[in-house]
Amino acid sequence: MQVASGANACENAGVIDWDDVRFFLAIHRHSTLAGAATALGLDATTVGRRLARLEQTVDARLFDRTARGYIATAAGTRILPRAEKIERELLAAMRDVEGEDQRLAGHVRLTATEMLSTRFIAPHLHAFHRQYPDIRLELACTNREVDLGRREADVALRLARPHQDDLVVKRLFVIDLALYATREYLDVMGTPSPGRPGGFAGHRFVGFADTRAFRRENEWIDEHTVGADVVLRSDSVSSIMSAAIACVGIALLPCKVADEERQLIRVQVPIGGDTPFVGPEPRVVWQAVHRDLIGAARIRAVLDFLGRLLAASEPMVARVAANEP
């Protein structure tokens, strides 16, 4: 497969433009023109036109249009591994060059969960931009595990430890979780009795969306709040917290955030004796960056900023394992 870029590709029959390969991969990964367009930041019409141009260049249909979306044909399947190899090589070359960049300037894409983004990072970005006025930080809120190797992000904060060999991973801090409700809710509905049969009977609960990202918390909720009526689910922790403040029900929330909310109180009813009712196993927040980018000055600036910012978030980080890689 010969690959060219830009205008030169259009002047050479049978030579594939790298941009067209990029469109081909996006369609394969998202199965629809709309999904590929969203991933590429373009419109579906443009994606369809570029696919048609690529199919004309190789003189073969690369996708079957089905009810399940765009499915690679035999020709598309043969091209796929080579297209992915081209992508890996080009991205590696870009990272290699960018990793040597010692200017405190440029674009950095940071991804984190919505709660980390809104409660811990965004309120302090004014200080970051005062110190690094030429760094343009893009903050993406998502629970999805982005692919740093494909440059979906430069730095990621995740709730599960990544294990890819090409990533530099660091444990940042832990997030304790507990049950919270408003005083008004408890005055009306009464205090639940965790750990006792039917202890949550008649109570309303605000839960997490039924997705993989919240599986651990949902399993804990199902086990410990038998009898509660889940009246709302959301993939937004901030929305869950807002619902709890509005007396919709009891919610499982990060202690660092909920303890600072004056309208919420922690539900800590003794199970027996002096033993308090505790929340699920704390979440660990991991920082990941591609190994090729770790030396870039703008990346180091963001990492240092996150380290100082989140290390100051006591008492949530009191148990940070400083000797963790």
Amino acid at the residue 69: G
pLDDT score of 312:
56
pLDDT score of 273:
47
Other Cβ atoms within 10 Å of 131 Cβ, number: 12
**Which residues on neighbouring strands pair with residue 64, listed in sequence order?**
71
pLDDT score of 147:
81
pLDDT score of 319:
37
Reading the block at residue 71, the tokens are 């499915």
pLDDT score of 311:
64
**Collapsing DSSP states into helix, strand and coil, what is residue 233?**
strand
> Which CATH superfamily includes the segment(s) 106-173+283-311?
Periplasmic binding protein-like II (3.40.190.10)
pLDDT score of 14:
53
Q: Pick from 40, 30, 39: which is nearest to 68 by CA?
A: 30
User: What is 177-266's CATH topology?
Assistant: D-Maltodextrin-Binding Protein; domain 2 (3.40.190)
pLDDT score of 181:
95
Reading the block at residue 251, the tokens are 């919610």
Cα 171–177–182 angle (5° rounding)?
A: 145
pLDDT score of 313:
54
Q: What is the pLDDT along the chain (325 residues), one digit of tens a residue?
A: 544 444 443 334 456 677 788 889 889 989 999 988 888 888 899 999 989 998 888 888 999 999 889 999 999 898 898 888 877 777 776 666 665 567 888 899 999 999 899 888 998 999 999 999 999 999 998 888 888 877 788 999 988 888 888 899 999 888 899 999 999 999 999 988 766 666 788 899 999 999 888 998 999 988 888 889 999 999 999 999 999 999 999 999 999 899 999 999 998 755 454 555 567 889 889 999 988 888 888 999 999 999 887 665 544 333 333 333 3
Residue 67: partners with Cβ closer than 8 Å, 6 or more residues away = none
* Helix-helix angle 44-58:33-40, to 10 degrees: 110
Task: Give the integer Cα–Cα distance in Å for 261 and 61.
Answer: 58
Look up tokens 């959301």; give the residue.
Answer: 234
**Collapsing DSSP states into helix, strand and coil, what is residue 17?**
strand
User: What is 3-99's CATH topology?
Assistant: Arc Repressor Mutant, subunit A (1.10.10)
Task: Give the integer Cα–Cα distance in Å for 316 and 63.
Answer: 50
Q: Pick from 84, 197, 214: which is nearest to 149 by CA?
A: 84
Domain boundaries, the chain: 3-99, 106-173+283-311, 177-266
Q: Is residue 283 exposed (0-12), middle (13-18) or buried (19+ Cβ within 10 Å)?
A: middle
Rounded to two decimals, the pTM is: 0.64
* Helix-helix angle 18-30:74-99, to 10 degrees: 110
CATH topology match: 106-173+283-311 vs 177-266: yes
pLDDT score of 323:
34
Amino acid at the residue 36: A
DSSP 57-106: HHTS--EEEETTEEEE-HHHHHHHHHHHHHHHHHHHHHHHHHHT---S-E
Q: Which residues of 22-55 are buried (b: 16+ CB within 10 A; e: fewer)?
A: bbbbbbbebbebebbbebbeeeeeebeebbebbb
Sign of CA dihedral 116, 118, 120, 121: positive
